[in-house]
Every structure is written in C-alpha cells, then in structure tokens.
Structure 1
Amino acid sequence: EKKDVTQSLESYTAKCPGTMEFITLPDGLKLPPVPFTKLPIVRSVKLLNLPTSLRPHKMKSLLGQNVSTKSPFIYSPIIAHSRGEERNKKIDFQWVQGDVCEVQLMVYNPMPFELRVENMGLLTTGVEFESLPAALSLPAESGLYPVTLVGVPQTTGQITVNGYHTSVFGVFSDCLLDNLPGVKTNGCTVEVIPALPRLQISTSLPRSAHTLQPSSGDEISTNVSVQLYNGETQQLIIKLENIGTEPLEKLEVTAKTVNTKEKLYGDFLSWKLEDTLSQFPLKPGKIATFTVNIKVKLDFSCQENLLQDLSDDGISVSGLPLSSPFRQVVKPRVETKPINPQESSKVGDFSHVKTLEAILNFKYSGGPGHVEGYYRNLSLGLHVEVEPSVFFTRVSTLPATSTRQCHLLLDVFNSTEHELTISARNNEDLILHAGECQRMAIQVDKFSFESFPESPADGTQFANAKQLEEERQQAKGLEINSKLDICWKIISFHKYWEASVEGVLNQLVLEHLQLAPLQW
C-alpha cells in the first residue's frame, strides 16, 4: 500500500513538482508546505572538524590564547558569563573560508522499500555558504546510516546549520532542526576564519609501511622510509606544493626524534631553510623545494651480541697481532629484509639493523588567515633503518717517538657484504674485504683539553658532577674524532661516509691521548 501511494505521488509531482511555497486557495486561505521530515528519519546532526592537516591553529599572544580583544580588561565576568551561555551552541573548532566542510547525519529509512533521496543539502544562515547537494539510496528499513553533507563557506563569521533540504518522490522539503526535537546535535554554530593556503608535500623517498604515532596526538600526513649504512649521509628532497587559493608566505620547520633509544652522534637531520624561503611567497599552484640532510652516526663500537655471533662463526676479534692482521671472511650480510620478521632473530644473523624515527613538522601560513594570526601544521614521518657498516672492535694506544704524539690503534671490522676502504687523516687507505677485520694505526698529536671545565671537588652535587664528567668525556671524544677524520667507502659505490670513535674511547685511552701537564 505504501508503495502504491509513493508511485501515485511520483506521477503527480512529475506533472507539478512539490515545492516549499504556500498554496493560496480561492477563498484566500493559505496552506503551508508540509516537509517530509521522516523520509528519511534523521536521528543526529554532527558538524565535523577539518582533517588534522587542514585544521587552523591560533598563534599564541603574550597575554594568552583566549584573551578577548573586544574589552580593554584582561578579565571581565560579563564576557565570561556570555561565553558560558554561548558554549552550549558554539563548537570549539573552526572552519576555514574556501575549504570543503562536512556535516554528518545519522539517518534511516522506515519504508519497506528502497528510498531514493535526491538533492540533499544543508540549510545555513550567517555566512554565505555554497552547499554541494548529495544523492543517496537507502535500503529498506536500513537502520542508522551515516550520510555526509558538504559545502564551502564563501565568507567569514559565524555560520549556523539550521537544517537540511531533500527531494523525495519529487517533493522538495526544507527540514528545520527546530522542528525536529528528537535530533541530537553537538552544536550548530561554528566560526569560519579567513582563508589559508593549503600545502601538499611529496618526497624523493618511497612511502613507508611504518606509521608513526606522535605523542602529541597529531596525525602524520605522509610517512617515508630509507635504508642507510651507519655513517652514511643522504639528501631528502621535499617538494612543497601550494594546492590552495591563497599565497604561502610563512614557513617554519622543526624536527623531533621519536621512538628511539639509540645514541646519536652529530646532527641527525639538518637543513637550510633560507634556500626555500627565497622561493616565497609561493603562489597557488607553484612548487618549492626543501632539502633535508639525513646523517646517521650511531655507536661504531662492536656490540656484545655481534661479538657473540662472530664467536659462533669461529672468529676471534678480541685482539689482533699488529704484525700479521688476520683475514677471514664471514658470511655476508643479507641486503634484503626477511619476509618473516622472526627470521631476523635466528642464531648467527648479525645484521643488527637499528631503527631511527623522526617527525618533520611544517608550520605554514599566508593570505587573510595569516593576517588574523592563524596557521596550519603538516607533518612528515621519517623511518630510517640503519645497517651496520664498520665496527671498532678494540681500541688501544702505543707511545710514539715524541712525547707529544702517540699511536691510536683501532681494530676495524667490515660487517658489510662489500669490499670497502677506510682511512684517517694523513693515512693511507686500508682495504677490508667483506667480513674482514684488520688493525689500523693512526699517529695523532696529543690533546691538551684545557678548555673543558673540571668536575667539582665536593661531593654535594653528585648527580651534577657525574653529568658534567659525562659531558666532558663526550666533548673530548668529539674533539678527537674531528681531528681523526675517519672515512670509509664501499669501493663500488664511489661515496665517502664517516665513521666515529666517540662511543669507543674509554677513560684509559683518553688519558693516554692527553698531553702531559709538564714537558721536559
């Protein structure tokens, strides 16, 4: 019976469409329009926030972020009271002029047949709003079904979603939320701020299957990964494209290392923002390039688990005769990662790939939104797998002919599957085959270390004294390493990379490398 009625209604409206206009009878009586508020039935209306990468943020002022500029007083109970009343209706996020904004409706079809809803859109007031109507088909007695209606605010100010309009069986209906008491809503009024640019990033690296989860709760828009040897440096080329309608005028870049317990030596990520800012302001549709140097320098000292793996293979690396360095090739490191992650824990596998993760945050602004103090954030997740290259399995010293010099002895192990060379400043290249260990002797001038502060004599600040001593030892290691300038190169790659002794030098070696306070 319901099906017959709807078919008859469709045949009538095909000849004379049903509108929301009043009908005036000959006797002057006006018949109001009757909207189909239950075809479909709407249970809730929820205004949605913009995607994380497009959400506007307000720059903090000196007096605080939420200080009203409409009053000369920092605090006014009248303003606070009015805000309290407004909070019941106004939502705590903003929409942006010119961006597509969404409202989600939970609807269901009470009819025993499929319900086709055409030209379903939003009814709003307060801001010029371009509604983009949708068409949907709801199964018979569908149950609650999410429907997202979208539109674009064309001006700024307060916008209120008053309801929605539909076209069902040829009848056009304007359904106001005030006439639907059973509809749940999270608020119907939201602020529309001035337009901001939209930034899209692409990189020279492949996308990563590892998704970073920052502690701040922000989402990472893009995740990329790269595999490097310890000591290797690689450039990451990032293309910044303005896909919005406003010029991109301001850009700030920060980096944060996350989810790692590894000790890093030197700058992991570095860049020169001035080279990118010289291409600004970036007009809509234009692309700028941003170059990041990825430099991985972890501990080059031989780990206990690696020594154990080498011992399992019958190789001794604890000490080598200076006159006859041994050459024994161990099984090469597998270049590709195993499909089954459990395979990487097998006995004898000493690849020991370590992971570094960082988040690059791009804070940008421009256009009218920048004038009003708003900006956007975009984050790039970087996943770096660091493969071992060379290890210093043992370090010691020998006296030289001059008391102001000594020989630093390093037992170097090549853990790669490639033939490589390693050299220090003013030293000849030492060739190491895959899995080979040799000793290199470096003649160095002893160091005075006069510029480093001494540890406090009293024990009242034990924690500070211990921390100061660690900092002094790190500073000494950094100075020594900078003078050694140790580099290694995989012969087939024709690229020089660094190796660091900062994590290898113990207190005894540091004492031997220190210049005596008295000279005879």
Structure 2
Amino acid sequence: MRSAVSVILSNPSSDPNMSHPDYEQTYHHHATLLILVKHLGEELSNKSFQKIFDRINKINNVKVVDSVGITRNIWARFVKDYPVGNNDWGDFQTHRRLLGLITVGKCKTQGEFNEICRTHESYKVKYTLTLYDSRCIVLGINDGPNTPNFTPPTNFKSRALYYATDGEESSTLENNISEFLSALFWVLESKRHERSREKIERVSLLLAPFERRDLVGLDMESRSIRKRSFGRMTKHLGDLCLQAGLYGDAISHYNAAADNLRAVNDWLWIASACEGLSAASMCIRYPNALKSQIIQRNASLQETNKSRTNHSKTMSGTEILEPSSLLLPRPNNVLSPEDICKNYREAIIHYSKYQNAGVIEIEVCFKAARVAIELNMVLQAAFFLQNIIFINLNLPEDEKIQKLMTLSDLYIKLGFRRKSSFYQRLAATYYVSARNPNTDWDQCYNLMLQSLSGHDLTLDPSDYQSEGERGWGKLQKVVLQDIVAAAKRVGHSSLATRHMTLLLQVMWNELSPAEKHECALQLQNIAAQCEGSPIPLVLDSGLVIPPANLIHIPTAENFQVHKLKPHQQPVKLEKVKEDYGPFLFTPLNFGSMERKTSNKDYKLNYLWVAEEECEVKLELTNPLPFELEVSNMRLLTNGVVFETLPLTVTLPPEVCRYPVTLTGTPKEVGELEILGYSTHTLGVKSNCRLKILPKIPHSQFTIEVVPALPLLKASINMFADQKQSTPTISLYAGESAMCELVLENIGRGLIELIDISIDSSSDSNILSCDTSELEKQLPLAEGSKIVLPLKVFAAANFINTYPTDGVSIRSSLFSGTNSYPSLSSFKHGVFDHLGTPSPSFRSGPSSLNSLNSQFNRLNIDNSIKGAECRIKVKYSGKPGIDAGYCRIATLTLHVDITNSILISNWDVLPSETSSHFYMVLDVMNMTNQEVEVKYTESKSILIEEGESCRVPIPVERCPLTKIGQYFQSEDSIKEIVDLNTACSEHIASLVEVAWLMGNRQGTATLKGITLSSHMLDIVRMSPINWDIWLNVGEAGGSGPFTVTLGECIQARVIAHNSLSRSLTDLSLSVHIFQDYQNGTCNFNLDTRLAIAGPSHLYLPEVRLFLT
C-alpha cells in the first residue's frame, strides 16, 4: 500500500507534521464541532472538574432549525487538551479546527478571579485563528447573596457563567452549553454560506501546513492552480456541510471535489475527499452512532482485560436510525458498504505518498478499521489494521504504546485474541524500553497480565484441562516467563513466586528435562526472598491472583487410603432382624439421574474409628536430578475434624515410586473427605488436591468415621517359652492340656462387651474355653486383665479306616443269621458302595501272631497331624457400642497331634446276660514308647512299641428307646444306615480307652466305629426279653445253679414284648446242653435228662408290652 511509485510532492519542513495523532478518531468526528474544555486555577479540584466535564460531555448534540426551517442535527466533541499543531490542519480538514473554548475555574478572591480571566484570554489568543466563541465557567462567585461578587477585568472580552457550586445550584449549565453549541453552529453556518458564495476566480488555494513553502515560484493564475483551488474549496465546503448537519450536500461536494482534483493529480486532497465521502455516507447510514460512543478516552492502561472484552463483540451492520430519519429518503449518492471501504482504501494509498501525512494516514487506517468492523467486514478491517504496522513514524514512546493498545482493542473486536495479546505484550516492552525516559515496570506487568487470555492462558490453574493441549505450548512458556521477569522487576517477589509456580504446574508437559531443572532452581531462588503459599494474592488494582501448586514436584504416582489393622477394624454388631412386612421391589429407577454421582468421588467400603491413628500411603517420584526435600506433608481433608501429623521426607534424585505414609487422627464422627495432601518444597507451600493430580483417578476419597472403641490385647499363656508368632502345642491323640486366654484393656474407656467364639479347622472339640466367670468381671477397666482357662484336647480318629474291598464289606455286613423279623429281607449288594471297614475276625479263639502279621500289612499314616484353632474375641464399649460397632481380636493356636493308640480291628461278642455284650478291640501302640492301656475300671494292659493287643470291654446293649423305630418291615437303606449310626454313637458314648505313657495320659474314643449286620444283632437290645426262673422264686441264667442228682427242677420262662406293636407267630423253645469246660458242648442229653411238660411252645400273638 505504501508504494513508492509516485513522487513525493514535498519535503518535510521544520515541523510540518501533525503534532499528536488521535488514535480514537472515528468517521463521526468529521461531523462534529471540536470544543476544548480546560481546567483553570488550583481552587477547583480535579474531581470537581471531572464532574463538570462529564455534565458538559453529555450535551454533545443539539437540534437547530435553520433559516429555511430544516432541523439540523449538530454534534460536538469535547476534549481536555488539543495541540496547536493539530489545529493548523484545520484548512485541510475542518473537523480538526478548534471552534469553541470552555474554561472552568473556581475562586474566592478578586485576584484569583482576575487570574482565571487572564488565563482564559490567553487560551483564546492561542487558538485565535480558528476559535469561533468561548465561555468561562466560574464557580463560587456572583451567584446569589451567599457568594461574593467580583467584577471581571476590563480586558476580559468573553462571556462568563457563574455558579455557586458544581451541584444542583448549577442546573442551568446544560442549557447554557446547548446555547453555546447553537451559537457555534450559526457562526459555522455563516462561514459555510460565505464559502459557497465565493466566485471561482476569487477562490484562494487552501493548503496543508507542509505545502506552504511549495508556493514559491508557482504561477497562481495558471489553469491547473485554479482548478486545484476550486477542487480544494469544493472539498472544504463538503467538510463544512458535514459539520453543519447537511450530509447529503456534503456527499455531493466530495464527489465534485474528487473529480476536479483527479484531473490535476492532487493526491493529498483527493485522499481527504475520499475520506470525507466515506464519513458522510456512514453518518447517513448511522446518524446516532455518537450517542453510544464515549468522546474522551479516559480508560487507564491498568484496567483488566475483562473490562475491555465487554465491548469486544463485533457490531452488526444493522443501521441505527432515528424515527425522524426514517421519514427522510436516503440520498441516491450514498455509498454502499463495499464502496465505503474502497474509498478508505484509496485514501490510504494516496496518503501513503506523503511523508508528512503519516499521522493522517494512521488515523484514517484506524477509522477505516472501525467502519469495517461496524459493517461486519472482518477481512477489510484486518487489512486496514495490518497497514498501520508499516507506517514508520518517529513517535515518542507513550504514543507508540497508545497506538499499540488501540490496535489491541480493535483486534479484540475482530475476535483476533492472540494478535491483540501480541500488541499488548509489545506495548508492555515499550514501557520498559531503553528509549523510554519514564520506565514503568508496573504498567509493563499489568499489560503482560492482560495479554494472557489471548494466548489461552489464565492465572487460575483450575481453568486448564488435565488432558489435552490448550493453545500454543512454546509460546505460552515464553509468555509466562516474561510475566515472571516483569514481576521480579516490579519488586513483588510473591507474585514472581506465584507465576513461576503456575508455569511449573500448567506447562509441565511442555518443558524439557533441562527446562524443568532450570525452572525449579529459578523458583527456589525466587522463593528464597518470599516463599509461596496456597492463598490468593490481591493486587492494588483489585485483581486476585489464584493460588498455584507444585503438583508435579514431587509427582504422586499412587494414593491409597489404608484400612485399620485387622485387630483395630470396627465391625457392625449383629442385630435381630425385625419383620417389616413384605418387601416391595420395582425395576423403575425414580430420580436416578439426581442420584448419580461423579465417578471420581470414591466412597470407601471400610471404616475408620475416631481417636484412632489412620494411614494414607503415597508413592512419590522426584523428576529432578537433585535431592528434593519435601517438608510439612499433611493430609487435606473436609468434613469431620481431622488432626493430621506433619511429615518430612527427602527424595533421592530421579527416584521413582518412593513410598511415603501420612498419618492422622479423626476427632469426630461422620463422613471424612480426603481431598489430597500438602507439601512444602523449593520454598513453595502447595495444596495438591486429588482432582488436579493427573495420575490419581479419583477426585476425593470418602470414608465413614465411627465412634471411638476400646482396644483389647488378647494373648495365650502356654506356661512355656514360646518364640513363634503363632502359639503351638504338641499333644498325643486323646491327650488334654490347659492354658490361659489373657484379655487386657490397652485402650481408653471401659470394655463392656466380650464375646468369645472358637473355630477349628478339623474338630470343634479340640479347643474349649470356660467363660462362666467372664460376665462377673465386666466392664473391664483401662489397664485391667481377664484370664480365662483354655482346654486343649487332641481330638483324633482312633478307628482304623483303611480302605477294604467290596467283598469283605459285603461279607461283614451280611454275615450271620438274621434272627429278627425286621431284618429278614435284606437284599445283598445294597451297601456295596459304602466304604465300611470290616473286622477280620469273629468270636472265638485267635492268636496274636496272626494279628501282628495282619497289622504289619496295614497301610497306616503315622505322621504328625496339625490342627489350627482360631479364637475370636468380640468386644466393645462406649461410645462405639451405642452406635452398634465392636472390634474382633483374633488369635490362632496351632495343635500338633501325634498318634497314640489305634483301634485297628474290632468285633462284638454276646455276654452271659441279654442286657450286655462284649466289645472286643485290637489296640495298637503307635508311639515309640511303652503304653499302658486301661480298658475297664480295674483292668489294664501294657503294650510295647509298635505292638498290638486284643481287649474285651463289657458294654450295655443299645436300648430300644434309641432304635425301636427301626424295627419295621421295610428294608430301606436309610433305616439300616440310621440304625448303624445310632448303635455306633451308643458304643462311643459308653466306651473310652484310657492310655498312660509316663506322666502323659489320654483317652481314645470309638467315635466313628461302624458295625456289620451280625454285630448289630448283638449290639442292640432284643425286642423280646425273657426271664428264667428255676424252682419258683429263684432267678436263673445269670450265674451257676447247683442241684443234686435226680432232683426235680421246675423251670419257668417268662417272655416280654418290649416293642410298641404286637408280635405274631412266635415259638418259644428250651434247649439244654452240657459244657465240658474245654470248648466242647454236648447237646444230646436224652439219656441224662427227662423233661416233664412241653419244651416247645407256639404263640400266635403277643401284644405290645405284654408277657
């Protein structure tokens, strides 16, 4: 755009340029009357002056009816300062002329009043070439009886306005300002009429300030000069019409001027005509734009970026028209939006041909950009703004800053946030450049902060996503580093620490290992001056800097909330279930959306106890190549009061997953939320919350804290030195031992409830505890003990259960004659699947040698067998017991059981009486010592190591009260099995074989013994009992009965039905034999015995319980 194709028409003079560019100018300023409002004297405070100025500034528009009855809309622009050099450009563009002057002062004496008047007149002289009229507002005098009256000096030729104060007493101020604007309009209107009535030959050549020396040597009467003069005057008339509210006439004059000036290549004024043409067209399209604009820009560079962005939305192209303007037809020569931008583009091209028009070019670029933004022409606006960068002007640093800030504001309106932030950062560097005599690091720092949003950066770490990229990482690192440097130069060490902490928190993944090391050392040096803390910082401007935390130094790899130790864990006491009626179920989830919680909130399914130390284990990684000291590590919690203990740990260089345990004690009952942990490292205190830790999946852990519970120590006193962690006792099978269960209250509070239960892995009879005296010793006070006796019994299976084949089982179960009706119809083979060991002998003589040879063939396991017994002590006390909680102390006792004696075989023999039988046992010594076996009250036998012995034991038969229900006609498997079980339990309850080995003793039981059908016939009581009476009154059958040879014996047999049902078809027979006492019996006594009466009797029926 700034091409060098044309010849520069003039060289710069001593000071031909405009003094100060106005970067806030808009197209509407072409249609305004420029008025200067000055503050005079020292009596009037700046606050009061600003109040007066604001009131004046609101009266920026008046409606005036001209001489032909047309209502003119006149606009004014009020400024507080205006350079005289800019006023010199009034012929080139009339809106740059200062037309009015308003001074505001306050006085109390005549001298002060005279000084105000003198100063006012000096300003009139300063702008006398363009000034139309002026007003002098004086406060505090000449306004009623309450104010002094002073006379103005004779040289004061202006109109003065007197007010007592700047408040309600000056209510006529607005009217006076409106009247002042009307007066300026009429002067302007008269000037316009003068110019419009000038003859062509008398039109003077209007000049820009730098063109005056070009008149030397020129023929002013030449045709080109005349045409140039007329074209410039026509353009001047267009400016006056625009200010006078005649927008349509202004467009006509601008078009005519442009045509005339193009004929003579008057590029500078052609540019001005094009600019005026676009401004007039915009004024017609948007006649009330100034109503929403602030004329004087007073915004401080310290304001936050948010206040700027409130006005950053792109304005739409909708035309804002007043009702009166809607009634007026739009002139046909109004430019379209595309033509408006085209004319601005042409004006910029022509301005760029003149070195002395650089300020004008910058201003028109800003105007064109604002117009393009208002017309929603984003690319055109960006084009105009980009052109400003290539305009090289020798401006002071403060004006460069103002230019860059204006660019930033306009780029924000376009939505170019990063570009806006770029110019803000560039402006910040000008505040501290070497050429700036007034270096201001505070302003530099503030602008750096404002530029963060354009780079997708904020000061709040919570705005950054935990995953994914946000913006431009390499650029963001540089921006944050610049802010840290600016904060250090400001002298605010806490800010520098905070920003460096933020850099390490949010830019960690963008930093290389070397950069991480460098930044960490830099942070450590900065924090040495002022350590960082996790609290917001409030600046003097009111900006709040949120806290930042070192969540990566060190890095948390794992965060685990631990359960209490097993003996400290609370358990819910079981309650008796109450019947609440039917349970109603519905698959509908009413309100399920409201009940859904974040997956990151994790509710733990175990409990902590108040006043009990709890643990959280972490795994930390040190990413830095030097030793890292982390001090004052504590847990961050919410909810119930939690007393956490500080921890200091030193992490080796670049260590991974270093275990750390944090402890604390809950002080109240309820829900405890564990939010994270705090650290103090590199001089920065950080709150590392779980929700911002990248490697922890949960944002918090919630755990229930139950009321305090007492603590019980349970131990077993074995009366011997025990070095193992688990108490162990070794016993022979059947042996018993005593030990003590010691319960000690080592906690705080009374123990009110103690419940002891024992669980064994093999036999429930191994361990037993006598708790009869327990209740009497409760409650258990602090430091007190309870000692309970424990009995350990080496329960074992003394019956040899080696497997046998099915044939022997069958022969043993079904051997012998079934003499009872209930067993008359057994089916062979029904018990083939039962693994019942069978005795290998029957009643009668047998040799021990044969037994020993058989025992040697037995495959018997003689190894030591272990049994584990677990003692559970459930206990509780206030206040936990009131909430229904208790604790369980668990002890384990290991019992090693060595075989003592073994019942390898067994059989039953009938006794001399019907109420007893003999249980014949083969007892084998399984120990390596001699064992004394006592099998009855008065009989015992010694058995050598590995030897066996057969002993008979008299046993009462199983009564019918236990087995009477099995005497039925059905031969079911279940009945036979149940009968066998009942008889086996009967024998086990009556028979115990005691053994003695030195000072150790024990008993062997027959629990688990099995019986064949032949054995069952002997073991169980007969359903028919009989009594034998010899010679009436003398019972026989139980012992020897002596008679003489040839003596008559009267035998009486009485049979009883012991069953609960009748017996039929019974035969009662008497058999007599002679025993030779050598194992031979003689049953043939026909020659030796005579029987008078029947020896056989048939009974058709014997009723229940009858004889």
Identity over aligned pairs, percent: 27
1:121 corresponds to 2:121: no
AA paired with 1:363?
K
* Counterpart selection for 1:85 from 593, 597, 601: 597
* Counterpart selection for 1:160 from 647, 656, 673: 673
CA apart distance, 1:194: 0.3
1:257 corresponds to 2:760: yes
* Residues 173-192 of structure 1 aligned to structure 2 (within 5 Å): 173-180=686-693, 183-185=696-698, 187-192=700-705
AA paired with 1:502?
K
1:245 corresponds to 2:743: no
- Give, in whole Å, the separation in 1 of the partners of 2:1019 and 2:572: 54
- Structure 1 residues 433 and 14, CA gap change in structure 2 (3 angstroms): farther
* Residues 492-503 of structure 1 aligned to structure 2 (within 5 Å): 492-493=998-999, 495-503=1000-1008
* Counterpart selection for 1:514 from 1016, 1020, 1030: 1020
- Give, in whole Å, the separation in 1 of the partners of 2:874 and 2:598: 31
User: Paired residue for 1:51?
Assistant: 565
AA paired with 1:85?
T
User: Paired residue for 1:304?
Assistant: 802
* Counterpart selection for 2:664 from 148, 151, 156: 151
AA paired with 1:235?
M
AA paired with 2:943?
L
- Give, in whole Å, the separation in 1 of the partners of 2:783 and 2:578: 35
Contact 1:356 1:384 (8 Å CA) reproduced: yes
1:434 corresponds to 2:945: yes
AA paired with 1:51?
K
AA paired with 2:783?
G
CA apart distance, 1:242: 2.5
> Counterpart of 1:482 in 2: which secondary structure?
helix
- Give, in whole Å, the separation in 2 of the partners of 1:300 and 1:120: 63
* Residues 357-368 of structure 1 aligned to structure 2 (within 5 Å): 357-368=868-879
* Counterpart selection for 2:791 from 277, 284, 293: 293
- Give, in whole Å, the separation in 1 of the partners of 2:642 and 2:691: 20
AA paired with 1:498?
T
1:386 corresponds to 2:897: yes
* Residues 470-509 of structure 1 aligned to structure 2 (within 5 Å): 470-490=977-997, 492-493=998-999, 495-507=1000-1012, 508-509=1014-1015
User: Paired residue for 2:769?
Assistant: 271
* Counterpart selection for 1:196 from 709, 732, 755: 709
Question: After superposition, what is the alpha-carbon deviation per residue over 1:193-231, rounded to whole angstroms, capped at 9, x for unaligned?
Answer: 10112233222358898xxxxxxxxxxxx7443332221
Contact 2:902 2:924 (8 Å CA) reproduced: yes
* Residues 440-451 of structure 1 aligned to structure 2 (within 5 Å): 440-451=951-962
Contact 1:43 1:183 (8 Å CA) reproduced: yes
Question: After superposition, what is the alpha-carbon deviation per residue over 1:468-511, rounded to whole angstroms, capped at 9, x for unaligned?
Answer: 65454334333333333421111x12x43111123335233343
User: Paired residue for 1:100?
Assistant: 613
Contact 1:91 1:187 (8 Å CA) reproduced: no
- Give, in whole Å, the separation in 1 of the partners of 2:952 and 2:967: 36
CA apart distance, 1:112: 1.5
CA apart distance, 1:182: 5.5
CA apart distance, 1:19: 4.3
Contact 2:556 2:621 (8 Å CA) reproduced: yes
CA apart distance, 1:97: 0.4
Contact 1:326 1:437 (8 Å CA) reproduced: no
AA paired with 1:199?
L
- Structure 1 residues 352 and 29, CA gap change in structure 2 (3 angstroms): closer
- Give, in whole Å, the separation in 2 of the partners of 1:177 and 1:502: 63
- Give, in whole Å, the separation in 2 of the partners of 1:241 and 1:82: 49
Greater shift in the superposed pair: 503-512 or 129-138: 503-512
Structure 1 residues not aligned, in runs of 5+:
68-72, 210-221, 307-316, 331-346
> Counterpart of 2:965 in 1: which secondary structure?
coil
- Structure 1 residues 305 and 478, CA gap change in structure 2 (3 angstroms): closer
AA paired with 1:416?
T
TM-score, structure 2 normalization:
0.38
- Structure 1 residues 407 and 375, CA gap change in structure 2 (3 angstroms): same
1:354 corresponds to 2:861: no
CA apart distance, 1:47: 2.4
* Residues 136-147 of structure 1 aligned to structure 2 (within 5 Å): 136-147=649-660
- Structure 1 residues 392 and 179, CA gap change in structure 2 (3 angstroms): closer
User: Paired residue for 1:395?
Assistant: 906
Pick the structure with greater CA Rg: 2
AA paired with 2:607?
Q
Question: After superposition, what is the alpha-carbon deviation per residue over 1:415-467, rounded to whole angstroms, capped at 9, x for unaligned?
Answer: 1112221113333221122222122222334342423452495879x6xx62x
CA apart distance, 1:74: 12
- Structure 1 residues 406 and 472, CA gap change in structure 2 (3 angstroms): closer
- Give, in whole Å, the separation in 1 of the partners of 2:916 and 2:576: 57
User: Paired residue for 2:1091?
Assistant: none
* Counterpart selection for 1:131 from 623, 644, 647: 644
1:416 corresponds to 2:927: yes
Aligned CA-pair RMSD: 4.1
CA apart distance, 1:192: 0.9
Greater shift in the superposed pair: 176-185 or 96-105: 176-185
- Give, in whole Å, the separation in 2 of the partners of 1:408 and 1:130: 73
- Give, in whole Å, the separation in 1 of the partners of 2:684 and 2:665: 26
* Counterpart selection for 2:728 from 203, 225, 250: 225
Contact 1:453 1:472 (8 Å CA) reproduced: no
> Counterpart of 1:481 in 2: which secondary structure?
helix
CA apart distance, 1:383: 3.4
- Structure 1 residues 74 and 329, CA gap change in structure 2 (3 angstroms): closer
Question: After superposition, what is the alpha-carbon deviation per residue over 1:338-368, rounded to whole angstroms, capped at 9, x for unaligned?
Answer: xxxxxxxxx9995233343343332222121
> Counterpart of 1:188 in 2: which secondary structure?
strand
Contact 1:195 1:369 (8 Å CA) reproduced: yes
AA paired with 2:922?
D
- Structure 1 residues 257 and 239, CA gap change in structure 2 (3 angstroms): same
AA paired with 1:515?
M
Question: After superposition, what is the alpha-carbon deviation per residue over 1:51-71, rounded to whole angstroms, capped at 9, x for unaligned?
Answer: 333222223455689x9xxxx
AA paired with 1:444?
V
CA apart distance, 1:371: 0.4
Greater shift in the superposed pair: 199-208 or 276-285: 199-208
CA apart distance, 1:396: 2.4
Contact 1:329 1:433 (8 Å CA) reproduced: no
Contact 2:903 2:924 (8 Å CA) reproduced: yes
- Structure 1 residues 178 and 248, CA gap change in structure 2 (3 angstroms): same
- Give, in whole Å, the separation in 2 of the partners of 1:239 and 1:84: 49
- Give, in whole Å, the separation in 2 of the partners of 1:60 and 1:456: 46
- Structure 1 residues 253 and 178, CA gap change in structure 2 (3 angstroms): same
- Structure 1 residues 21 and 404, CA gap change in structure 2 (3 angstroms): closer
Relative to its length, the structure with more strand (as a share) is 1
- Give, in whole Å, the separation in 1 of the partners of 2:653 and 2:637: 30
Relative to its length, the structure with more helix (as a share) is 2
- Structure 1 residues 14 and 433, CA gap change in structure 2 (3 angstroms): farther
Aligned residues: 465
User: Paired residue for 1:370?
Assistant: 881
Structure 2 residues not aligned, in runs of 5+:
1-513, 805-838, 1028-1107
